[in-house]
């Protein structure tokens, strides 16, 4: 696989470790107008949620995904790929790992929110069977925008 600079990208997907939370916070800053802080990520991923990271062979963290679950329901909190590494299959690999995890844990219903204009993320989610089931008006800030609520059922 090639990254946007034309270099080969070899990455692996693994569970988030505490020492990776600051790198995830840096990735959040690069990817979102309202990024999660390291403190919030510590509370979330260090405790309540499950997370997976994509790491390049040289150890650089290039993507992550988070999931909160209760019984058989899960919510994808966020997914992000470093801007220099997009369209190389990292988001897909992270989603595949989340689906694998859900199957292991008996989670059969997934939901998420996404900016209505985020066509790339919506295309990724639709490729995993997510469908739009509702709109949350003015859900996001910076800029203000509606959220699509999307859900998927796992067999």
Ligand X SMILES: CC(C)(COP(=O)(O)OP(=O)(O)OC[C@H]1O[C@@H](n2cnc3c(N)ncnc32)[C@H](O)[C@@H]1OP(=O)(O)O)[C@@H](O)C(=O)NCCC(=O)NCCS
Residues in contact with ligand X by the rule CB under 6 A? 31, 78-81, 86-92, 114, 118-121, 123-124, 127
Active site residue 113: yes
User: Is 63 or 106 the residue whose CB approaches ligand X more closely?
Assistant: 63
Please report the sign of the dihedral spanned by the C-alpha atoms of residue 56, residue 58, residue 60, residue 61.
positive
Question: What's phi and psi for 61, nearest 5 deg?
Answer: -80, 120
In sequence order, the β-bridge partners of residue 76 are 67
Catalytic residue among 64, 85, 125, 140: 125
- Minimum distance of ligand X from residue 126's CB (angstroms): 8
- Helix extents (H) in the chain: 21-31, 38-43, 90-105, 119-127
If the CB atoms of residues 40 and 106 are measured against ligand X, the closer one turns out to be: 40
- In whole angstroms, the minimum distance from the beta carbon of 48 to ligand X comes to 19
Give whichever of 69 and 77 is closer to ligand X, judged by the CB atom: 77
Considering the complex, what minimum distance in angstroms separates the CB of residue 61 from ligand X? 13
85 labelled catalytic: no
Catalytic residue among 56, 113, 145, 153: 113
The CA distance from 91 to 98, in Å, is 11
Q: Kindly state the smallest distance separating residue 104's Cβ from ligand X, in Å.
A: 21
Secondary structure of residue 47 in the 3-state scheme: helix
The Cα 123–Cα 112 span in angstroms is 14
Positions annotated as catalytic residues are: 113, 125
């Amino acid at each position: 696989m090639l990254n946007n600079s034309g270099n080969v990208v070899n990455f692996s997907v693994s569970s988030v470790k505490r020492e990776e939370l600051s790198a995830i916070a840096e990735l959040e800053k690069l990817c979102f107008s309202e990024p999660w802080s390291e403190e919030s990520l510590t509370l979330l991923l260090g405790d309540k949620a499950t997370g997976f990271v994509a790491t390049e062979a040289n150890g650089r963290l290039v993507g992550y995904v988070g999931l909160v679950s209760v019984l058989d329901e899960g919510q994808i909190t966020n997914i992000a790929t470093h801007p220099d590494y997009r369209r190389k299959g990292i988001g897909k690999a992270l989603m595949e790992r989340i689906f694998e995890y859900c199957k292991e844990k008996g989670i059969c219903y997934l939901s998420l929110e996404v900016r209505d204009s985020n066509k790339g993320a919506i295309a990724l989610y639709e490729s995993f069977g997510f469908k739009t089931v509702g709109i949350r008006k003015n859900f996001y800030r910076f800029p203000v925008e509606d959220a699509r609520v999307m859900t998927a059922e796992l067999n």
